[in-house]
Amino acid sequence: MSGAYLQEIFSSVQGEGPFVGCRQVFIRLAGCNWTCTYCDTPTDPAPKTWVMEKTPGCRNFMTLANPVEPVELAEMITSHYDLTLHHSVSLTGGEPLLHTQFLKKLIPGICGTRAGIFLETNGTLPDKLSSVIDWVDIVSMDVKLESSTGTKTPWDAHKRFLTVAARKKVYVKVVVSASTKEAEIEQTGKLIYSIDPEIELILQPVTARGGIVTPSVDRVLRLQERALKILQNVRVIPQTHLMMGQL
């Protein structure tokens, strides 16, 4: 099957990590292979419908049927959005790397932005990343700490993943909570350092959900110091789109 199940498409500003504020077209694919207690996004693998703005940036959504064919979707996006006004197209989800065959057919048709294709991923599928890395320009890779997600951290898969991602522009994002252990941050820092000490680490305080509690101001500073003992570039950046009332 060449089609894929989508959740939504919208134009907004990137709200997380070092590209905060950049205008992006977000393509949110359906389904996820991971479980994060704090997740703020539905992960139904096969929703009957998906939504797209009638007018870019106006949040007047129209409902469309799933699944969608890649070439048809590329035509819808390029006729609907002025990609030249956008920094990049953000492929997100759910977990976008569950849809690599679809992405390889979609991406050639949506390459008109200023900085290309931005992949927002949970960092758990290195072989899937290898199959599409040539089509991607920027990788936002999560490291999934057990203290926040409730699922055991896949350290080996993360290491293999970052090795592949380092072939392009990449940064690592780690959601931290009140229960994040300094040892987890240290292991994250050592993983990054072992591949490239220059790769930036973003500590993203959890937006409280699912019983996962936002870390205290003091705790965030201690965690950042722990990472700075290992890495050059460590910033604390929250989910800013929520503060701006942006999607």
Ligand X SMILES: Nc1nc2[nH]cc(C(=O)O)c2c(=O)[nH]1
Ligand Y SMILES: C[S@@+](CC[C@H](N)C(=O)[O-])C[C@H]1O[C@@H](n2cnc3c(N)ncnc32)[C@H](O)[C@@H]1O
Residues contributing to the site for ligand Y (CB under 6 A): 32, 38-41, 92-93, 95, 120-122, 142, 173, 175, 204, 206-207, 209, 239
For helices 217-228 and 182-195, give the axis angle rounded to 10 degrees: 30
Q: Does 95 bind ligand X (CB under 6 A)?
A: no
43 binds, among ligand X, ligand Y, ligand SF4, none (CB under 5 to 8 A by kind): ligand SF4
Nearer to ligand Y, 47 or 112 (CB): 47
Sheet with 138-142: strands ordered across: 61-65, 49-53, 6-13, 23-29, 88-92, 117-121, 138-142, 169-176, 200-205, 234-236
Stretch that binds ligand X, among 13-21, 54-62, 149-157, 216-224 (CB under 6 A): 13-21
159 or 241, CB closer to ligand X? Answer: 241
Do residues 200 and 18 touch, judged by C-beta distance below 8 A?
A: yes
Minimum distance from residue 33 beta carbon to ligand SF4 (Å) = 7
Query: Is 148 an interacting residue with respect to ligand SF4 (CB under 6 A)?
Result: no
CB neighbour list of residue 187: distance below 8 Å, 6 or more residues apart: 153, 155
Residue closest to 118 by CA, chosen among 135, 95, 143, 101: 135
Please, what is the minimum distance in Å from the beta carbon of residue 21 to ligand SF4? 21
Closer residue to ligand Y in complex, CB, 39/178: 39
What is the footprint of ligand SF4 within residues 90-109 (CB under 6 A)? 93-95
Binding residues for ligand X, rule CB under 6 A, total: 11
**Helix (H), strand (E) at residue 50:** strand 49-53
Return the number of the residue (41 or 55) whose C-beta is nearest ligand X: 41
d(C-alpha 154, C-alpha 188), whole Å: 11
Could you say which of ligand X, ligand Y, ligand SF4, none residue 177 binds, taking C-beta under 5 to 8 angstroms by partner kind? none
Encoded tokens for 160: 């293999």
Sort 54 into a burial class: Cβ within 10 Å, 0-12 / 13-18 / 19+.
exposed
- Contact footprint for ligand X (CB under 6 A): 12-16, 41, 92, 120, 241, 246-247
Numbered residues of the known binding site for Mg(2+): 41
